[in-house]
Amino acid sequence: MGSTSDLPVMEATAKFLNDMQIPFELHALSAHRTPEAVEQFAKGAQSRGIKVIIAAAGMAAHLPGVIASMTSLPIIGVPIKSTLGGIDAALAIMQMPPGIPVATVAINGALNAGILAAQMLAVSDADLFAKLEGYKESLKKKIVQANEELQGVKFEFKTN
């Protein structure tokens, strides 16, 4: 995260990874205020066993791109809503130069970042793939249940 102020959004990622039993690290690193620490983190990530990096940042949102410039690991950027409704962060993360890709989820889309990271890891992990299949099935069940509950909602002109 660019700062600990991003934690309320990024908790969704941490909770999902934790629920899926995927080990993860959590850091506050600033591309502008602690560039040396960002470099140390990015260049040492693979040797620590990290396979995917999720980087969240608001406003100028340089953290995901800076990390991507320092490692060949896949990077997922989470634009944090701060100024300009988060559009500034989204554009900063999406508009990377050729050769420095950053996958980008929706503004404050921390849960999807965790899911995408898990899907990347599941390509070579059958057990994790099965967990993701179960998670996605649970999403379907929630919608089916919600639709069934809607049958009990009564309005004078409701026809179903």
Percent of the chain with pLDDT over 70: 100
53 has which bridge partners?
Answer: 75
The pLDDT of residue 65 is 98
Strands (E), 12-148: 53-58, 75-80, 103-104
The average pLDDT across 41-45 equals 98
Q: 4-125 adopts what CATH topology?
A: Rossmann fold (3.40.50)
The average pLDDT across 138-148 equals 95
Q: Cα–Cα distance between 103 and 94 in angstroms, integer? A: 7
Torsion angles phi and psi, residue 54, rounded to 5? -105, 120
Predicted confidence band of residue 83 (pLDDT cuts 50, 70, 90): confident
Strands (E), 65-156: 75-80, 103-104
Predicted confidence band of residue 98 (pLDDT cuts 50, 70, 90): very high
Strands 103-104 and 53-58: unpaired
